[in-house]
A and B are shown apart, each in its own frame.
Chain A
Amino acid sequence: MTDAKRRQGDKLTEAEAIERAKLGDAEAFHALYDLHRRRVYSLCLRMTGNTSSAEDLTQEAFLQLFRKIGTFRGESAFSTWLHRMSVNVVLMQLRKKNLPVVPLEETMEGDEEGTVRKEPGAPDERLAGSIDRLQLQRAVDELPPGYRTIFVLHDVEGYEHNEIADMVGCSIGNSKSQLHKARLKLRELLRMNRAEKAGKK
């Protein structure tokens, strides 16, 4: 069975695609792109909130990766390598545009009032059961850039606070604090959205 017939039956595995890409094989590059494009694009879109920027950054992330593919030795997972590169590409872009990567305030110290306010007579309503992906997506897009970065990296992409601190250049405490504020902000946005919909009915 020729190589061509084997490929028609079985898609290239990631390991095969990487080795062939090192030789400059177009099909291999395409295979690697197909395997990871959604993850990279979604990350860029979530962090920028803009489809045009996200597409440009996706292209840039893959371009940087493919330029260096000859140096990949398999010490870590390829997806990890690509993912980290994508995050760096987005963060560099945010910095170039002077957008805050992390908000300036450090911790919640000094915020004596807190965010849980008791209003006499106000019903305590939960969000449980009333969030869908589209609602959450829109709310994330409305977050300030600094909050959005931390929320996307931690809750969406699964990075730990020590990794986030290293990537964005903040302290672990700052990362935790900003994540909490991002979630509070999202809660507020989602409740407002629900109240608007209820008002329209």
Chain B
Amino acid sequence: MNCVEFERVLLEGEQTPEQRAHLNSCSACSNLLSDLQLISNQAKLLLASDEPSPAVWNALESRLRREGIIRRAEPSRRSFGDLFWRWRTAWLVPVAAALVIVGVLRLHHPAAAGDNAPIAKQSVAPPPVAAAVLSDDQQLLKTVASRPPAQRARYRTELDDANAFIRDAQDAIRNDPNDVYRQQMLINAYEQKEMLYQLAVDHVSEQ
């Protein structure tokens, strides 16, 4: 076996007796094999050896929020531990849940929601429940008013996003009220807002 033949069969991995005999007699091939094994072994040093900049997570998180994949904010480290606050905010959960119920009712029983026309032909003016919703949003913002500015801003942003999501879903439903996917989208939109209200209550109970 010569050096060229040796290198050709090196690809296969397992050494034949012929290869071993050649290695014992050829320092060049012996060094080559040793070097290639060293390179292969040292390659593991490159595994998970580098750190991305914090900007990667920041950009990723923004996209996840915009796409609605992140639907709950990170829990606050601040402690409230006050039954009074818990009572004051406990009403938020049933109100938000009512939003989901109203949304579903309007989908399937427009008459029961006080309107005989199909959803696509409903008037653009917001019904009474929408006015109550706006008032509830203000109440939510008042509830978190005593929290750090960054947190208040986050609640406001998430509330705006949730309302925008609901409006978009309502617009989509008007265009095609029988589309099951759009109906589910509207339900998801109300549920997203309900989770925000739930989060506000959760923060109060985490003491």
Q: Please list the residues of chain A having a beta carbon within 8 angstroms of any beta carbon in chain B.
A: 2-4, 7, 23-27, 29-30, 33, 37-39, 41-42, 45-46, 54-55, 58-59, 62-63, 66-67, 108, 112-116, 118, 124-128, 131, 133, 136-137, 140, 151-152, 155-157, 176-177, 180, 183-184, 186-187, 190
**Interface flag for B115 (CB, 8 Å):** no
Q: Tell me the chain B residues, 65-124 only, with Cβ under 8 Å from chain A.
A: 65, 67-75, 77
**Interface flag for B61 (CB, 8 Å):** yes
Q: Across the interface, do B206 and A67 meet the contact criterion of CB distance under 8 Å?
A: no
**A–B Cβ pairs within 8 angstroms, 10 of them:** A2-B207, A29-B70, A38-B49, A54-B52, A67-B67, A126-B31, A127-B34, A128-B38, A136-B43, A155-B39
**Looking at the complex, which one of A41, A54, A108, A136 makes contact with B39 (CB distance below 8 Å)?**
A136
Q: Across the interface, do A26 and B40 meet the contact criterion of CB distance under 8 Å?
A: no
A-B contact count (CB 8 A): 155
With the chains together, A66 CA to B57 CA distance in Å? 13
Residues on B with C-beta less than 8 A from A38 are 48-52
Query: 13 extra interchain contacts, Cβ-Cβ under 8 A, other than A30-B61, A58-B52, A131-B39?
Result: A4-B75, A23-B71, A25-B70, A26-B64, A26-B74, A33-B60, A67-B69, A127-B39, A151-B43, A157-B47, A180-B10, A187-B35, A190-B39
Interface digits, B181-207 against A, CB 8 Å rule (1 contact, 0 not)? 000000000000001000000000111
**Looking at the complex, which one of A41, A66, A125, A187 makes contact with B56 (CB distance below 8 Å)?**
A41
| Interface 9-mer from B1-9, B133-141, B145-153 | B1-9
**Looking at the complex, which one of A4, A115, A131 makes contact with B7 (CB distance below 8 Å)?**
A115
Q: Across the interface, do A186 and B31 meet the contact criterion of CB distance under 8 Å?
A: no
Q: Across the interface, do B35 and A42 meet the contact criterion of CB distance under 8 Å?
A: no
Say how far B190's CB is from chain A's closest CB, in angstroms.
15
Known: A58-B52, A63-B63. A187 touches B28 (CB 8 A): no
**Looking at the complex, which one of B3, B11, B35 makes contact with A127 (CB distance below 8 Å)?**
B35
Q: Please list the residues of chain B having a beta carbon within 8 angstroms of any beta carbon in chain A.
A: 3-4, 6-8, 10-12, 27-29, 31-32, 34-36, 38-40, 42-53, 55-57, 59-61, 63-65, 67-75, 77, 195, 205-207
Q: Across the interface, do B56 and A128 meet the contact criterion of CB distance under 8 Å?
A: no
Overall SS of chain A's interface: helix
Q: Across the interface, do B69 and A156 meet the contact criterion of CB distance under 8 Å?
A: no
Residues on B with C-beta less than 8 A from A42 are 46-50
With the chains together, A177 CA to B12 CA distance in Å? 9
Residues on B with C-beta less than 8 A from A112 are 4
Complex A-B, nearest 10 residue pairs according to Cβ-Cβ distance, in ascending order: A24-B71, A114-B4, A155-B43, A41-B52, A4-B206, A38-B48, A133-B45, A39-B48, A116-B3, A127-B35
Q: Across the interface, do B70 and A24 meet the contact criterion of CB distance under 8 Å?
A: yes
With the chains together, A23 CA to B64 CA distance in Å? 13
With the chains together, A176 CA to B40 CA distance in Å? 13
Say how far A84's CB is from chain B's closest CB, in angstroms.
16
With the chains together, A37 CA to B32 CA distance in Å? 35
With the chains together, A85 CA to B51 CA distance in Å? 19
Known: A38-B51, A187-B36. A26 touches B61 (CB 8 A): yes
Known: A59-B60, A63-B60. A39 touches B35 (CB 8 A): no
Residues on A with C-beta less than 8 A from B65 are 26
**Looking at the complex, which one of A30, A63, A177 makes contact with B11 (CB distance below 8 Å)?**
A177
Closest B residue to A112 by beta carbon equals B4
Residues on B with C-beta less than 8 A from A108 are 7-8, 11
Q: Across the interface, do A116 and B35 meet the contact criterion of CB distance under 8 Å?
A: no
